[in-house]
Amino acid sequence: MNIDGILEFLNSHASVRQYTDQPVSDEQIDRIIDTAQRAPTSSNLQAYSIVVVRDPAKKEQISILSGNQPHVKNCPVLLIFCPDLLRLRKVCIQSGYRFREEYFEYLLLAVVDAALAGQNALLAAEAMGLGGCMIGGIRNRPQEIAELLDLPPRVFALFGLTLGLPAKPARIKLRLPRSVIRHDEWYETDKIEAGLDEYDRAMRETGIYRGRRISLEEIGPNLEEKTTEDDYGWLEHTARRLANPASARPDLRPFLESRKFGFR
């Protein structure tokens, strides 16, 4: 095993949103799912399921429900990662125990399991020369997605993963400086600001936000535009994204409660 090669591969990740028409075979999907299943999983509970969507009409519907994202419609295959407590409840019932599913811990556990499996799946796909993009937009309209995929209570669509052969090389996106992420021995609040400023400058210089501003109208009424093109960077973009009421998906918790997920 060549460590430098493996790390270089891991560090070459970039989300891919444009694909050729070349199909992804069923064998490729099985290999990707087998690798997803190798991810660590809390207490070996394996609390997730993966729905494979190839049907063009269904992908188009999901694309619309996910905020009209063209790559969801145009990808050859879409995997949907679903935290799944249905199977585990069945296991409890069969053995004559009560599953304490009202507790938030089980939702959290299943979300972490599904996320780890999703990341393994993306890495497996990238190792096979494919590209992909995770789709959190699938949580925009969770009820309609559940109906479209026939998801039973205790199973919900956490994120999608578009997969296909990249139509062009994707651009690698800078990450926050390590100093913001790494804290030695204790949490070092003081260093956050400098790190964020550094990142803001670096991201702005890449030109990534040109023509991609989040409009103030999405956030609320009577907000005055004070940011020039040159000032608009990661800080402004991120703040606007977080201030947008729709980003918080306020319908999600009531939906999950209605689907028997617990918040106690």
Site for ligand FMN in 190-209 (CB under 6 A): none
For ligand FMN, the closer of residues 159 and 261 by Cβ is 159
Check: CB of residue 76 under 8 Å from CB of residue 54.
yes
Q: Which stretch binds ligand FMN (CB under 6 A): 12-20, 31-39, 83-91, 194-202?
A: 12-20
Shortest distance (Å) from residue 120 CB to ligand FMN: 13
Q: How far apart are CA 257 and CA 104, in angstroms?
A: 11
40 contacts ligand FMN (rule: CB under 6 A): no
**Please, what's the b/e burial string for 13-42 (b: 16 or more CB within 10 A of its CB; e: otherwise)?**
bebbbebeeeebeeebbebbbebbeebebe
- Shorter beta-carbon distance to ligand FMN: residue 139 or 154: 139
Using CB under 6 A, pick the residue from 62, 65, 134, 214 that binds ligand FMN. 134
What is the nearest approach in angstroms of ligand FMN to the Cβ of residue 115? 7
Among 38, 173, 210, 241, binds ligand FMN (CB under 6 A): 173
Instruction: Write the DSSP symbol of residue 185.
Output: S
Nearer to ligand FMN, 41 or 162 (CB): 162
Q: Concatenated DSSP letters for 96-137?
A: T----TTSHHHHHHHHHHHHHHHHHHHHHHHHTT-EEEEEGG
Nearer to ligand FMN among residue 92 and residue 170 (C-beta): 170
Q: Is 159 in the site for ligand FMN (CB under 6 A)?
A: yes
Q: Which CB sits closer to ligand FMN, 115 or 216? A: 115
> Could you tell me the smallest distance in angstroms from the CB atom of residue 13 to ligand FMN?
6
The torsion defined by the Cα of 230, 232, 233 and 235, in degrees rounded to 10, comes to 140
121 contributes a contact to ligand FMN by CB under 6 A: no
Residue 14 interacts with ligand FMN (CB under 6 A)?
A: yes
Q: Residue type at 160?
A: G
Rank residues 13 and 260 by Cβ distance to ligand FMN and give the closer one: 13
C-alpha to C-alpha distances, 203 to 231, 239, 244, 247, 248, nearest whole angstrom: 11, 14, 21, 22, 24
Burial class (CB in 10 A: 0-12, 13-18, 19+), 199: buried
Q: How far is the CB of 65 from ligand FMN (least distance, A)?
A: 11
Residues 51-110 that bind ligand FMN (CB under 6 A): 69
The stretch near ligand FMN (CB under 6 A) out of 45-53, 91-99, 104-112, 129-137 is 129-137
Instruction: Please give the Cα distance from 121 to 109 (Å, whole number).
Output: 18
- Nearer residue to ligand FMN within complex by CB, 15 or 179: 15
Question: Is the CB of 85 or the CB of 133 nearer to ligand FMN?
Answer: 133
- Say how far apart CA 81 and CA 50 lie, in whole Å: 5
- Classify residue 99 by burial, with Cβ atoms within 10 Å: 0-12, 13-18, 19+: middle
Read off the amino acid at residue 194: A
Site residues (CB under 6 A) for ligand FMN? 13-15, 17, 69, 133-137, 159, 173
